[in-house]
Structures are given as structure tokens and as C-alpha cells.
Amino acid sequence: MPRRSTWLPRLTLFAALAAAACDGGDGGGAAGPDAAGPDAAPIDAPAIDAGGLGAACAGGSACASGACVDGVCCDRACDGACEACSAATTGGADGTCAPALAGTACSTYACDGVAATCPTSCATHADCVRGYACGAASACVVAKRIFVTSTMTSGGNLGGLATADAHCGDLAAAAGLPGTFKAWLSDGTTSVAQRFTHHAGPYYRVHEGAVIVVAVDWADLTNGLDPYAIGNDEHGQPAGALIWTGTLITGAAAANHCRGWTSNSTADVGMRGNSSASFYDWTAYGDGVCDANGRYYCVEQ
């Protein structure tokens, strides 16, 4: 009797197993997009590693790198005085340590955008942070700002010295300028020289973003020899005009001051300066009738 072949049943079994594998094992036919059913939950995308570079962090333990800098996970410790790890400070990518942008404050100096270390000397005023200027010893020193009011007065009635001082403070605050400011005004009782702090460092104005030192100290400001005008307002914009001062170049009170800055009368006069002039004319240009419009200087103390 001929021997029966066992290949056919085995091939049939293999084919059945292959078909089951292709259709998901349920014998339901070919798999398609809806093979799992219309109510099946979608497959989630892989979760982003919370400790990866650039992820927000509050401490090094939250970062795979072990370094949390500027509130983000950083690729290294990034501990140079002029290094940072946030895109806002470096101009690069969050999580990558790089030199801080030029101008970033580092003590009294400004980072140069290249070195990781803080500068230790200056060559120009731009090498110093706001409120400082490059001094004679190539070091950034405290500087006091002086500006012309952006607003025009309606005559010489300024409300007196206290009101004018307060207006200077309001203008400075609105422009984001820190510090205490007083109006460069004298009356019949008190002079600028008496009211003001005599700063031992530079006085400066800002002209469209650039620092311009107008005097190296109080003595220089009041000697009548400075060739620099003070024709910029609190925003650094040009503000050329006749300026109410009531003040001589030495800081002493002038004879005329619109009755203590309370008069708009054509019968009264007050000393004025010229914000486009230099030497002594910036503060003692000549008397003006008190009904005239004008501005005044504000000086940081």
C-alpha cells in the first residue's frame, strides 16, 4: 500500500497561521485603519523628556545634565560671569551655554558678547552698564544723569521748587530711570548749589542711546568751561529750547526767578539757559519774561 504524504496537512497549517498573523489573529480579514474598531483610543506620541536640554527647571536634580541655569536645563554648569543658557540672554537656543549678549550687565561692566568672563576695564562708556561711565582710570564709575524735560511749561509758574522736583521724578520714573532727580532751579531762598548733591563722578546725558559725559564731576559742571550741551530729554531725544534755571554757572541763585517760580506775569523775569549751548550759557543765557514757555533741567542726585 502506498505511503501517505504528511506535507499537505503541514502546509495547510502553516498557511492558516500566516493568515492569522496578517489579520491580527482574529480571522477577521485584512487589517486596515479601523481594524481596532472606531472606539479604540489613539496611540499617544512619545513623551518629551522633562529633564532634557532647554526644559524648564528649578534645580539641577530636575535635569538629566545635572545643570539648571537661567531656569532651563543646560548642557553644562555655565558658570562664567558672562555666560548664560537661555535664548533670551544669549540669542541662541535654550539649554546651550554660550556667551551672554553684548551689553548684558556684569557688575558695573557690560559683557562684550564674546568672552565668558566679566570685563575688568573699559575703553568707552558703552563698556559700562547704565548709570556708570568709563572714568579716567579705565574703570566704570557711578555717573549721574541730566536731562531736559520733555514737557513744555506754560510760563514761569512752575509751582515752586518742590513741585518742579516732583515733576522731574515723575518724568524719570515714566522713562524707566532709577534714582532721585531734582530740578536745576534756584529761587530767592535756596540755590542749586545748596539743594544738590555735589557728585564726585561724571554727569552725563543720553543722545539716542549713546552716553555723552558733559562733566567729569560737580566742579567741572559748574566751572563754565565744558563744551558739551545738555540738549536731550529723559528719553534721549533732542530737546533744544530755552530753559528756566534761575541759576548762575557756579550753582548760585540768579537775581531773577519768576518770583520763586510762581509767576507767569509779563512784569516778571527769570534767568534762563539754552540747552543747545555750552560753557556758561547752558544755565545763564539771559533773563526771559515769565509768560514765555520753556523747559527745565532735571539732575540725578
Per-residue pLDDT of the chain (301 residues; tens, 9 = 90+): 344 444 333 333 334 433 444 344 444 444 443 444 445 444 444 444 678 999 999 999 999 999 999 999 999 999 999 999 999 999 999 999 999 999 999 999 999 999 999 999 999 999 999 899 999 899 999 999 999 999 999 999 999 999 999 999 999 999 999 999 999 999 999 999 999 999 999 999 999 889 999 999 999 999 999 888 999 999 999 998 899 999 999 999 999 999 999 999 999 999 999 999 999 999 999 999 999 999 999 999 9
The Cα-based distances of 85 to 58, 71, 271, 297, 298 in angstroms read: 14, 9, 55, 42, 39
Q: Which three cell numbers stand for residue 241?
A: 529750547
CATH of the domain at 170: 3.10.100.10
Under DSSP, the state recorded for 26 is S
> How far is the C-alpha of 51 from the C-alpha of 53, rounded, in Å?
7
Same domain as 165, residue 62 = no
Name residue 271's beta-bridge partners: 287
230 is in which domain, residue-wise?
A: 144-300
Q: Among 196, 68, 214, which Cα is nearest to 145's?
A: 214
User: Residue 258: inside a domain, yes or no?
Assistant: yes
User: Residue 115: inside a domain, yes or no?
Assistant: no
- pTM over cut 0.85: no
Whether residue 84 contacts residue 71, with contact meaning beta carbons closer than 8 Å, is answered with: no
Last residue of a domain, one of 100, 120, 155: 100
